[in-house]
Amino acid sequence: MSVLELIEALPDVGRLADWLGLVGFVITIGGFGLTLRNVARAKDAARQAARAATEARDGIARFNLLSDVSQAMAVLDECKRLLRARSFVLLPDRFIELRRVLVGVKHTHSRMTDVQSVAIQDMIKLLALMEARFVSHEHDGSDPSGVIETHRALGQMADNLQVILLELMADPGS
């Protein structure tokens, strides 16, 4: 058989090439579709990971806020005990510690409401006044005046901090 006869015996080569080209095009479109689907899945996974990271960060910030407010309440309770025990010489240091904790709470936690922030700022100011009063009496050895009022003010601070703590615990967005 000659080459010419062999070529004539084969089916129409042009037609076969057209069909193969069409099959190749369909496979290419299918592969492109799968690629787009995988890109969409990867994008969704990245969004979910970012959302999880944000929720974790917010959870840690909320825990730190609750911990700091709890610490402030513990120091405040200690101040009230020292006041009842008439351990006036120790009070200024505890007032300083309480102010430090409250300043940290106020300035590092953006989730607090304006009302909560103002309440804490008022506590900080009052503690500074109390500290000054007890420091001045520490030097002359006399008992400071207004011990009952100081105890009442510390009790009010404890109540306000308790309300703030409960509000923060009840608010899942905090």
At residue 77's C-alpha, the angle toward residues 129 and 75, to 5°, is: 70
Q: Alpha-carbon distance 108 to 64, whole Å?
A: 10
Domain ranges of the chain: 60-170
User: Which architecture characterizes domain 60-170 according to CATH?
Assistant: Up-down Bundle (1.20)
13 pLDDT above the threshold of 60: no
**Tens digit of pLDDT for each residue in 57-115?**
888 888 888 888 889 989 999 999 998 898 888 899 999 999 999 998 888 877 788 89
Buried b (16+ CB within 10 A) or exposed e, 145-156: eeeeebeebbee
Q: Alpha-carbon distance 152 to 155, whole Å?
A: 5
Whether the model clears a pTM of 0.75, i.e. scores above it, the answer is no
pLDDT bracket for residue 143 (50, 70, 90): low
